[in-house]
Structure 1
């Protein structure tokens, strides 16, 4: 039995395997590009068997195999691991006459292999991943020019591997870019603190709703709320607590309003909601539910307990009015609620 064992100067069994893993080639499906290179190697060298072989920890695995049915063999039956130690083509004219290989299965089985030539697959950083090799059933030699061509084919295999890595990196970059674009689109339409629609995107949605109403859509309502005494929250509890209070209001809005409703942070401590297909009486019921939710649930994480109230203005979304007039009406109704004692809803 031969005594060759890893690690080896050219095929260190730790760094080399890490290099092999970076290419993620093992156990991938057969591909025409690799099959064509193996076929070319067999044709150039006039050999019936040609392989693109990678040396794993305990096996050699064939990415391409011409003239051979198996896809892998044990590493202790690998001639390629000897070829991986060479800087040039490793040639064995007669395997049966070489004590290192005469006992290998491919030599003792029928029909026996007798000739081997393998060119190492060497990465740019010097790691040998495997070989491009050819085998024959008769003893023979391989002319120097053919050895050069076999080395050239091995270099093409490395280029394919590098191209695969480059394509995968590009694919990952495209995925990351698309995710970044998606996040930017979300940020462009979302208030960072509350996660609700921001003023710009909500205004666009209001224009769309106005166009629907002008074409005969179902009545809609606007509800504007302002957190009462918000300056006091910041002064007494700090600005961090103020942020938590606004997030709490946003959470309650998500729970109280319907999925079809659109809620925005209109600015500062003001929120504005669009309730499509909603009559004023239905919108008043929604406002009362929101008042009740604020009263029943203090802002979490703040001591002493902080219970918020809000002044709300409610207005039908009149398709005959310009949008800015409708917004003034609902804003005026909200300020009327504040003047009348806060923590109430006033209909414009």
Structure 2
């Protein structure tokens, strides 16, 4: 439990301010639930002004303000900073006769406030965040029974703050769960090494595209790509360099393919790309860009430079042809490219 010092003693407010920040309440809009508690406090205490005051590092900020037009005042004009340092209700019968407060603006203003009574807002772990306070234009007192009721209302304010905090935590938990769910979904559909679509998710995308084509959608193309002599890269330089080669190829694909295209790691060093709304001649241009990008970007950190090359098979995505037949045709085109000398694109 936090210990509160005597009203006039200096204190280190660090822990109390940290506790206040945990509630995330400062500078939030006024809310009926808090306004109603302030109204009840003013009615019970027969006071024209009732405030839910929260003490920040250099100001007191009002979550609810009945009978007062401002939302905050400087801390050096705050009676509440005294009220939070003692248990029970802090009462000043006549602020004009109290040297601590007689110079405050609320006391020296036209139609001054004279009477103050504040019940501290004490958290379950013992920190006083502020007060539920009432003020009047005339000097007066509060009966013990009314003081008890003011303290009871202050506890209701804390219950509202605790409820807000619990709701905020629940909201954050739900957001974290949604983020985790999204991340799991991404991982389930993404190749971990390259960040491209994996075979499972790409196959589903192919089925969707085939259904669109069968309903009269624009023509599309498929491009199968296989990194040339990849086994030699692994054997000579090691699998870690092979992984870097796959990552480099994936990065170049992200740059050279268009935003509407979908590229996947089909398996091993083999990649498959869907080019929607694309004719074969347009797809050949994209394929040539990939060939050129590989030639211009050797694998970083290798001496002598290691330049990758890729063989490609290209075909139109015919909606009248079963998907497995289209994939076999692509595979045939790819191996034709390898037989013809690699680092080229064959169209079937």
Provide the TM-score with structure 1 as the length reference: 0.88
Distance 1:284 1:54, change over 3 A: closer
CA distance in 2, matches of 1:263, 1:343: 19
Q: Secondary structure at the match of 2:252?
A: helix
Distance 1:111 1:193, change over 3 A: same
CA distance in 1, matches of 2:346, 2:324: 19
**Counterpart in 2 of 1:44?**
44
**Counterpart in 2 of 1:25?**
25
Q: Residues 191-220 of structure 1: CA distance to partner in whole angstroms, max 9, x if unpaired? A: 222222211111112112222332333333
Distance 1:82 1:315, change over 3 A: closer
CA distance in 1, matches of 2:346, 2:276: 19
Question: How far has the Cα of 1:222 moved from its partner?
Answer: 1.9
Q: Please tell me whether residue 219 in structure 1 is matched to residue 222 in structure 2.
A: no
How many residues were matched structurally? 343
Q: How does 1:150-229 map to 2 (within 5 A)?
A: 150-229=150-229
Question: How far has the Cα of 1:96 moved from its partner?
Answer: 4.1
**Counterpart in 2 of 1:288?**
288
CA distance in 2, matches of 1:75, 1:280: 73
Moved more, 51-60 or 223-232: 51-60
Unaligned regions of 5+ residues in structure 1, if any? none
Q: How does 1:329-348 map to 2 (within 5 A)?
A: 329-348=329-348
Moved more, 217-226 or 194-203: 217-226
CA distance in 1, matches of 2:75, 2:316: 79
Moved more, 43-52 or 161-170: 161-170
**Counterpart in 2 of 1:7?**
10
**Counterpart in 1 of 2:128?**
128
Q: Please tell me whether residue 327 in structure 1 is matched to residue 327 in structure 2.
A: yes
CA distance in 1, matches of 2:283, 2:47: 84
Q: Residues 118-159 of structure 1: CA distance to partner in whole angstroms, max 9, x if unpaired? A: 111111111112111112233333222211110011111111
Contact 1:221–1:279 under 8 Å retained in 2: yes
Q: Secondary structure at the match of 1:312?
A: strand
CA distance in 2, matches of 1:105, 1:279: 79
Provide the TM-score with structure 2 as the length reference: 0.88
Q: Residues 17-48 of structure 1: CA distance to partner in whole angstroms, max 9, x if unpaired? A: 22222223333333222221111001011122
Q: How does 1:300-315 map to 2 (within 5 A)?
A: 300-315=300-315
Question: How far has the Cα of 1:237 moved from its partner?
Answer: 1.3
Moved more, 281-290 or 50-59: 281-290
**Counterpart in 1 of 2:260?**
260
Moved more, 283-292 or 300-309: 283-292
Q: Please tell me whether residue 272 in structure 1 is matched to residue 272 in structure 2.
A: yes
Contact 1:6–1:13 under 8 Å retained in 2: no
Question: How far has the Cα of 1:108 moved from its partner?
Answer: 4.2
Q: Please tell me whether residue 91 in structure 1 is matched to residue 94 in structure 2.
A: no
Question: How far has the Cα of 1:98 moved from its partner?
Answer: 4.1
Distance 1:293 1:25, change over 3 A: closer
Contact 2:30–2:63 under 8 Å retained in 1: yes
Contact 1:287–1:345 under 8 Å retained in 2: yes
C-alpha RMSD of the superposition? 2.5
Q: Residues 297-335 of structure 1: CA distance to partner in whole angstroms, max 9, x if unpaired? A: 212233321111222222232322211111112112222
Q: Residues 164-202 of structure 1: CA distance to partner in whole angstroms, max 9, x if unpaired? A: 222222333333333223222222222222222211111
Q: Residues 216-262 of structure 1: CA distance to partner in whole angstroms, max 9, x if unpaired? A: 33333322121111111011111111111112222232333333322
Contact 2:7–2:83 under 8 Å retained in 1: no
Q: Secondary structure at the match of 2:47?
A: coil
CA distance in 1, matches of 2:62, 2:184: 45
CA distance in 2, matches of 1:345, 1:74: 74
Moved beyond 6 Å, runs of 4+: none
Question: How far has the Cα of 1:88 moved from its partner?
Answer: 1.0
Contact 2:312–2:345 under 8 Å retained in 1: yes
Q: Secondary structure at the match of 1:50?
A: strand
